[in-house]
Structure 1
Amino acid sequence: MVDLHVHYPMHLLGGVEDPRDVAEQMLRVTQRDEGKFRAAVLNVAARLFNFRHWDGSWRVSVPLLQQGEVTVACSVLYRPFSEMDLDEPYSAPPESAYYDRLIELLEATERDIEQQGHVVVKQADDLERAQRTGKIAFVHCIEGGFHLGATPDEVTAHVHELADRGVLYITLAHLFWRRVATNTPALPFLPDAVYNALFPQKGVPPLTELGVAAAKACNASGVIVDLSHMREDAIDATFALLDDDAQVMASHAGYRFGRQHYMVDDTTLARIKARDGVVGLILAQHQLNDGIRRTNTKTLAETMDVVDRHIAKLGPDHVALGSDLDGFIKPTMGGVESAADLKPFAAMLRARHPEAADRILEGNALRVIRRRFASAAG
């Protein structure tokens, strides 16, 4: 099984923000007291908005992924205190230092994965080696264009560096406007209208010069632009910059049955299909139920009823799994509390969609991933 969007590095952030008396790490985090504060804030936020209960734990780990029979984990790199910079006002431009912090997390993730005996995918052979040896293949992905740099030249150079490090996709927009790409509301506790009132984006360019540089660099390097979180005007501006054969995806979303603009509409879906891309299904009650149910799903069977509706609209050749576990999507869909629950999820999907299940759970995502690395090799 492939999960196109799982926040494996999230549980490593506490140690990155608050280093343990290791000189090398301390030098890479300015003002250790600030790092301690960020780690404490992250801990409280995780208990409130991510863990099932206050005394719960992270939903993604190597053992949980193994129990869930996940063989390829698209591992999402995200530094929340770069996006929500406590020293800056809303809509402040990105800082050059954010990229160094991103690389710090990337390298911490690689060390952790390799220590546990699994594989970080940097080229096509790594993916095949992991599958041949029964190891989990971890593929780096990045959420938020604000990580990439403070100038167009920095962004361009950094995207190419990330391509060489094996990054599969970059989500240019995310939760808040940081002068890269316009975003849609996605906070589970705020309706779209309230979000738009609190965090306005009127009169801003859909892609700034940083967003244009990022899209062009992705196009040139083979890194996939992830359309998740992007507002329609940013999606339009992005397609205007991409070659006709450039890949795109929405790694963690679903079909727009309701009013949430976060979800994929017919126009964007047609564009994704035209490039043989995929939409990974986010397993968040807030998004996946919108326009289908007024109440949360309680059981896996109820969840699968909702999933069935999305599969029918997206099409079995263009839908995959993009759970967003540990992405602060509490509450998750009924029956899916951690990565371990993806095994029964997959079993029920196979029972309901015997002819399409292998494509949905693995084949569609692998098609996109292999094409990305084949392009890099070429």
Structure 2
Amino acid sequence: MLRTMLALACLLGSPAFAAQAPEAAQRLAQEAVIVDTHIDAPGILTEKWADLGNQAKDREFDYFKARAGGLDVAFMSIYTSPKQDEDGSAWQVANAMIDGVEALVQRHPDKFAILTSPGDADLLAQGGRVLLPLGMENGAPLGDKLENVKFFFDRGVRYITLAHSANNRMADSSYALEKKWNGLSPFGREAVREMNRLGIMVDVSHLGDASAKEAIALSRVPVIASHSAFRHFTPDFERNISDEIAKAVAAKGGVVQVPFGTAFIDPASAATTQARFRAVADFDRRNAALKAQGKPEESREAFDKAWEAAHPPGTSTLDQVLDQIDHGVKLMGVDHVGIGSDFDGVGGELASELKTVADYPHLVAGLQARGYQDADIRKILGGNLLRVWAEVEAGAK
């Protein structure tokens, strides 16, 4: 009853999207445990502080939107870039983001709590709190020190995406045209074993296929793909997970978390995203050659501006997200599909009707309309991820 009252109060000051969903969908969104494994709020907090305990109009995640949409567990993405990996700043940047999440919780202990174990979720959620576990997107902050896995575990990190948009010390990126390791590096293998030992989920989103396959095979416990759409819809886009690798995740007991970003779920937008990475690689090669010759380098700002002018944002729909979920359920079974939206991480390029964390009731309504039973919807919304997290934690013990 308390939770329902909180949700209704939040709706009074929230976007109208959630209120437009059918009553049955709104009710289930509030009653189910919703776990979203990828929200990029921390990076924005370090760039420009927004008090997410209040209504933040320029953010896709804040407390009131979360309560309106029924979001219970919001993994905060601790993202660092390949450039920060190269210049050695990734460790500090990651710590600053974690500091920001901790500051948010300290300012609003009645609204947020950091979650480090699925077994604590019910207790910490009392009073309507939104729980904030941490997921590290890109293993760059580990540097080449295995002890940093334990360091970030102690700071609350509970999954690590081994690589992001470039090859690193641990694994190959799906975006890299040339792979470095064709699997995991020796350090990457050590890190996976240490993650298993401590109880950190291994995340294979963003990985090149060979790296993902080795990580899945090596892990003693289930792995996750924290925000990966299915390559079935985008055949030439390695960033999305192949059916073969998705089935390997499921066979290990893991879960694939479906994102809402247009660049992943819309075939034309995925092709544009892939083309951009290739164009950037060509740009970098040209500049490296110019630098070697002592000639002026091309402007990255001008390159970005020209690319954006020639490639306007694409669009995507709720139905495309539902198609992704349908495919995952058919391929792997309903116990191995979840959600990892990428809110606040894709520049607002999201499926229609899924524009903020207030909008999960639309997803619920869509699943109900496609014939999913409420028990299975609960699994997709969060039950599957919590099961995997608990198994990873138990494996560490």
Q: What range describes the TM-score normalised by the shorter chain of this pair?
A: 0.7 to 0.9
CA 1:251–1:236 in structure 2 vs 1: closer, same or farther (change >3 Å)? same
Q: Does 1:122 align with 2:144?
A: no
Paired residue for 2:198? 221
Query: CA separation in 2, counterparts of 1:298 and 1:182?
Result: 28
TM-score, with length taken from structure 2:
0.70
In the other structure, the counterpart of 2:152 is 162
Poorly superposed stretches of 4+, deviation over 4 Å: 202-205, 291-299
How far did residue 170 of structure 1 move?
A: 0.2
Separation in structure 1 between the aligned mates of residue 320 and residue 244 of structure 2, nearest angstrom: 28
Gaps of 5+ in 2: 1-33, 50-56, 272-312
Gaps of 5+ in 1: 17-55, 86-91, 186-198
CA distance in structure 1 between the aligned counterparts of 2:251 and 2:325, rounded to whole angstroms:
23
**Which residues of 2 match residues 1-378 of structure 1 at below 5 A?**
1-15=34-48, 57-80=58-81, 83-85=82-84, 93=86, 95=88, 97-117=89-109, 118-149=112-143, 151=144, 154=145, 156-185=146-175, 200-202=177-179, 204-243=181-220, 246-257=221-232, 258-259=234-235, 260-290=237-267, 299-301=317-319, 303-305=321-323, 307-328=325-346, 330-352=348-370, 353-355=372-374, 356-375=376-395, 378=397
Query: Shift in Å at residue 3 of structure 1?
Result: 0.6
C-alpha distance in 2, partners of 1:10/1:346?
A: 28
Counterpart Cα distance in 1 of 2:79 and 2:270: 30
**Distance in 1 separating the partners of 2:158 and 2:38:** 11
Distance 1:124 1:237, change over 3 A: closer
Tell me the SS of whatever aligns to 1:336.
Answer: coil
* Number of the residue aligned with 1:39: none
Task: Provide Cα deviations, 1:250-276, integer angstroms capped at 9, x if missing partner.
Answer: 111122213112222232122211221
Indicate conservation of the 8 Å contact 1:142/1:171, yes or no: yes
CA–CA distance in 2 between the matches of 1:241 and 1:302?
33
Does the 8 A contact of 2:42 with 2:77 survive in 1? yes
Question: How many angstroms does 1:162 deviate by?
Answer: 2.1
CA RMSD of aligned residues (A): 2.8
Count of residue correspondences: 310
Aligned to 1:53: none
Query: Cα offset for 1:342?
Result: 1.8
Residue 224 (structure 1) shift: 1.1
Instruction: Give CA-to-partner distance per residue, 1:20-60, whole Å, 9 cap, x none.
Output: xxxxxxxxxxxxxxxxxxxxxxxxxxxxxxxxxxxx82222
Letter in 1 for 2:147: A
CA distance in 1, matches of 2:98, 2:265: 29
Compute the displacement of 1:345 (Å): 2.0
Task: State the 1:327 CA deviation.
Answer: 1.6
**How far does the alpha carbon of each residue in 1:121-143 deviate from its partner, in whole angstroms, 9 at most, with x for none?**
12345322123433111111100
Q: Indicate the structure with greater helix content.
A: 2
Instruction: Tell me: CA distance 1:226–1:303, structure 2 relative to 1, closer, same or farther (3 Å).
Output: closer
Q: Tell me, in whole angstroms, the C-alpha distance in 1 between the residues paired with 2:140 and 2:317.
A: 37
Bigger radius of gyration:
2
- Percent identity over paired residues: 26
SS of the residue aligned with 1:77?
Answer: strand
Quote how far apart the aligned CAs of 1:4 are. Answer: 1.5
Give the C-alpha shift of residue 100 in structure 1.
2.9
Please give the alpha-carbon distance, in whole angstroms, between the structure 2 residues aligned to 1:59 and 1:342: 12
Q: Cα 1:230–1:94, aligned 2, differ >3 Å: closer, same or farther?
A: farther
Is contact 1:284-1:329 (8 Å) kept? no
* Cα offsets for 1:205-234 (capped at 9, x unmatched): 533343233222212222111000111111
